[in-house]
Amino acid sequence: MTPGSTPPGRSGAPSAHPGAVPPAQATSPLAPGGPGRGHRTHRTWSPRRITAALVAAVILVAAVAALVDVIAVRAGRPAAFWRRHLADELATRPVDDVWMLTGAAVAAAVGVWLIVLALTPGRRRWLPLRSPAGCPRLRAFLDREGAAVLLRDAALRVPGVGAARVLVGRHRIKVRADVRFRDPQRVKDDLTAVLGEECDQLALARPPRIVVRVRQRTD
């Protein structure tokens, strides 16, 4: 993934900063790893409200429909069309019928998806941040799109960069920049330094790896 021309040191430990960065961390109130200077926010688990509401609504609708029809039949009315149809289909189609197999596959897939949703934390859109030292009960998150916007602005501040695209993943940040003038290698070094500094400003609890690619564009 990383192009071969990446300078060594950037792909190492996530907390490693390039040597070109001036030691600005000493003035930052959110310096990473400093004792007593803030703490890391752990990822919170999503309550899965929307999925739970959907599943609850489906169960509710099915139960109420069945209830209404059972009571209607007890009261002497004929069963509803959907119930007769459903009972006929279930009574006549063998389980190797293509519709039965399709239905079974869909049910199993939805089941797997629900189990995955139940067991994973979710909130993949939000990156946990370090909390400031004065507020121990504060938990902060930055959305990935917002981080991308801030990093793109920082990248455009580097002289020679004409355009930049930033993709913020949960563990890695990919930056692609078009170089309009100056030596691409020096622009790339500057970009690496500036983005490392800006990433420190983002106060991310787990600083992601930054992968920079530059492309010469002189048109």
Q: Among residue numbers 125 through 184, which ones bind other proteins (CB under 8 A)?
A: 126, 129-132, 134-143, 145-147, 149-150, 152-153, 156-157, 163-164
Tell me: does residue 24 bind other proteins (CB under 8 A): no
Q: By CB under 8 A, what part of segment 182-201 binds other proteins?
A: 200-201
Q: Interface mask (CB under 8 A) for other proteins, residues 36-55, using x and -?
A: --------xxxxxxxxxx-x
Tell me: does residue 25 bind other proteins (CB under 8 A): no
Q: Which helix (H) or strand (E) holds 174?
A: strand 172-179
In the complex with other proteins, which residue's Cβ is closer, 45 or 82? 45
Tell me if residue 41 falls in helix, strand or coil.
Answer: coil
Residue pointed to by tokens 């926010």: 41
In the complex with other proteins, which residue's Cβ is closer, 92 or 218? 92
Q: Write down the least CB distance from residue 7 to other proteins, Å.
A: 25
Phi, psi (degrees; rounded to nearest 5) at 218 = -110, 0
Whole-angstrom distance, CA of residue 184 vs CA of residue 127: 31
Which of these segments, 4-12, 109-117, 181-189, 207-215, binds other proteins (CB under 8 A)?
Answer: 109-117
- Closest alpha carbon to 9 in 188, 130, 148: 188
In the complex with other proteins, which residue's Cβ is closer, 49 or 171? 49
Residues 6 or more apart in contact with residue 128 via CB below 8 angstroms = 40, 41, 42, 43, 139, 140, 141, 204, 205, 206
First to last CA, the chain: 27
Interface residue with other proteins, options 19, 26, 76, 92 (CB under 8 A)? 92
Q: Write down the least CB distance from residue 113 to other proteins, Å.
A: 7
Q: Write down the least CB distance from residue 134 to other proteins, Å.
A: 5
Whole-angstrom distance, CA of residue 55 vs CA of residue 68: 20
Locate 131 and state its tokens.
Answer: 């909390």
